[in-house]
Amino acid sequence: MPNRLTLSELVRQLAAREVSAREVMEACLSRVREVDPHLHAFLSIDPDDALAQAEAADRRLAVRPLPDDQPLLGVPVAVKDVIAVRHHPLNCASRILGGFISPYDATVIERLKAAGAVVFGRLNMDEFAMGSSTENSAFGVTRNPWDPTRIPGGSSGGSAAAVAADECIASLGSDTGGSIRQPASFCGCVGLKPTYGRVSRYGLVAYASSLDQIGPLTKSARDAALLLNVIAGHDPRDSTSVPETVPDYTAALAPELHGLRLGLPREYFIGGIDPQVRRAIDAAVSQLQALGADVRDLSLPHTEYAVAAYYIIATAEASANLARFDGVRYGRRVDGADPVEMYARTRGAGFGTEVKRRIVLGTYVLSSGYYDAYYLRAQKVRTLIRQDFLNAFESVDALITPTAPTPAFRIGEKAGDPLQMYLSDIFTLSCNLAGICGLSVPCGFTDAPRLPIGLQLLGPPFGETTLLRIAHAYEEATGWHCQKPPPTPTP
C-alpha cells in the first residue's frame, strides 16, 4: 500500500508515475477509516479537499519535466491542530475556540503547498500543546499504535500516532518542551525540533513564545531532511525568525560518522531510567562508535534546574498568550452580567484542567512581589543552561541522550499526578530552554509489551545537518525505523 511508503520512497514513485497522488491519498484516507476509530489521531478531515489537491498534483506530475521547485508534489502531509490552515478548523484541541475556522495559512503551510504537498487533516494534541500524553485534548484521548492501552506522548501525540500508523506520509507538530521528540520516541518515528528561529512560527498558536518551534515527524531521517528543506527559512512576519541560509539537509547524509565527536552528558544517565531504555541507549552508543564516531563523557552541570525553570517560564508565557481567549473576538462565548463575569464564565467553561493549572501558575509567578523570585530567577537559570550547551559544543559536535526515561505509559497512569507527568519531559525540555536543535530516532524496543524506544540527539544552534547525518547513518546500520506496529491496533 502506498501509504506505508516513506516520504523519499513516495517522491521517487510519484515522479516515475508508478503511483498517482490520488491513489496515495485514497490509501491514506482508507487507512484513517480503518484504524482511526481506535486511535483517534485525527480531529477532522475534509476528504473532498484532500482528493482535489491530489488530483491537481497528478495534473502537474503528468507534465514533463517535473518542476524543480515542488519537491513534495503529491505527498500527503497532516497537520497538528495548532497550526493555521486556511478554511480549515483551528481549535488547538480546546473547546474555547469552538468551531473557529482559520482565515489564513501559516508560513509552513504556505511553503508545503508551494512545494506541492497535499495538506490534509487536523491532528489531535494536548489542549493548547500543554501536556505530555495527548490525554488533555478536549476531544478525546489519542492512543498509541503499538499498544492502544498506552499514550502516544504529547503534545503532538496525534502527529506521531498518524505517522506510525501509516495514516499519512509525514506530519507537522510543535515542540515547546519535547512535544515532537517525546511522542516520536513513544510511537517509533523520527521527530525533529529545529533550532529556535529556524522555522517560522507565523500561524502557530502560541503556548510559550520563546520556546515554541514547528518541526516534522516522519518515518526516517531522510524524510525529516526533505521536509525541513521545505519549511525552514527566514520569514519577515515572524520577528524571531533568523535570516540564516537554509542548506540542503539531504546533501550531508552519509552511512558513516568518521570524524564526529559525540558527548554523553552524565546528568542524563540518572536513576529512574527504565532498564530496557538504558540498555537500548547503551547499544545505540556502541553502534555509533562502530560507525566511526568518537564518544566521550561530559557534564551539563545546571541540568538539574531545568524542569523548575521550564515550568516557570513556560507557564508565565502561557498566562500572557492565552489572555486573548476571552470570548470577545472569536471562539466560544458564555455571556455574563458584565464583561468580567463574561470573561470568567467563558474561560472557565472553555479551558480544560491542565490549561487552567498552567495559567494560574504563570499568573502567580508574574504577579507583583513574585516576579523577581520566580520568573527573573528562572530566566537567569535558563542562561546558565544555554551556556552549558554552548560550552559542550566547543568539544563535541552533538550530544547523545535518551529521549524519555521510560517507554509509553498506560492511559490514565499519570493523569492524577502532574509532577510525574511533567517529568516525562525531563530529557527534552533543556533543548527548548537553550534554543538548540534536537532529534529523536528509534533505537530499539522493550521486550513485553513491545514498545518503541527513542535515542535523542542534541546539536548546536543550526546544527540540524549534523543531527540528520547521525540519525541517517544509525538508521542505515540498524533498521529500527522500518519496524511497523500491528496492522489493526485495537484496545
217 DSSP β-pair partners = 171, 191
Enter the CATH code of domain 2-264+398-482.
3.90.1300.10
Instruction: Give me the catalytic one of 155, 171, 319, 440.
Output: 155
Determine whether 99 is exposed, middle or buried from the number of CB atoms within 10 Å of its CB (0-12, 13-18, 19+).
Answer: exposed
Residues 7 and 218: their CA atoms lie apart, in Å, by 8
Cis peptide preceding 65, ω within 30 of 0: yes
In this structure, the number of other CB atoms found within 10 A of the CB of residue 240 comes to: 15
Closest CA to 92 of 43, 141, 36: 43
Residues 161 and 153: their CA atoms lie apart, in Å, by 9
Q: Within the chain, how many helices (H) and strands (E) appear?
A: 15, 11
Contact indicator for 131, 420 with CB cutoff of 8 Å: no
Chain Cα centroid distance, residue 69: 26
Instruction: Give me the catalytic one of 102, 156, 174, 179.
Output: 179
Contact indicator for 209, 315 with CB cutoff of 8 Å: no
**Is 265 strand, coil or helix?**
strand
Whether residue 356 lies in the annotated active site: no
Closest CA to 76 of 37, 136, 22: 22
Residues 406 and 277: their CA atoms lie apart, in Å, by 6
CA distances from 463 to 41, 436, 460 (A): 31, 8, 5
Per-residue pLDDT of the chain (491 residues; tens, 9 = 90+): 899 999 999 999 999 999 999 999 999 999 999 999 999 999 999 999 999 999 999 999 999 899 889 999 999 999 999 999 999 999 999 999 988 999 999 999 999 999 999 999 999 999 999 999 999 999 999 999 999 999 999 999 999 999 999 999 999 999 999 999 999 999 999 999 999 999 999 999 999 999 999 999 999 999 999 999 999 999 999 999 999 999 999 999 999 999 999 999 999 998 889 999 999 999 999 999 999 999 999 999 999 999 999 999 999 999 999 999 999 988 899 999 999 999 999 999 999 999 999 999 999 999 988 999 999 999 999 999 999 999 999 999 999 999 999 999 999 999 889 889 998 999 999 999 999 999 999 999 999 899 999 999 999 999 999 999 999 999 999 999 999 999 877 66
Phi, psi of 190 (to 5 degrees): -95, 130
Residues 3 and 23: their CA atoms lie apart, in Å, by 9
Phi, psi of 462 (to 5 degrees): 60, 30
- Name the segment(s) of the chain with CATH classification 3.90.1300.10: 2-264+398-482
**Is 76 strand, coil or helix?**
strand
Whether residue 179 lies in the annotated active site: yes
**Is 322 strand, coil or helix?**
helix
Closest CA to 268 of 138, 363, 404: 404
Instruction: Give me the catalytic one of 80, 193, 219, 414.
Output: 80
Greatest CA separation for the chain = 70
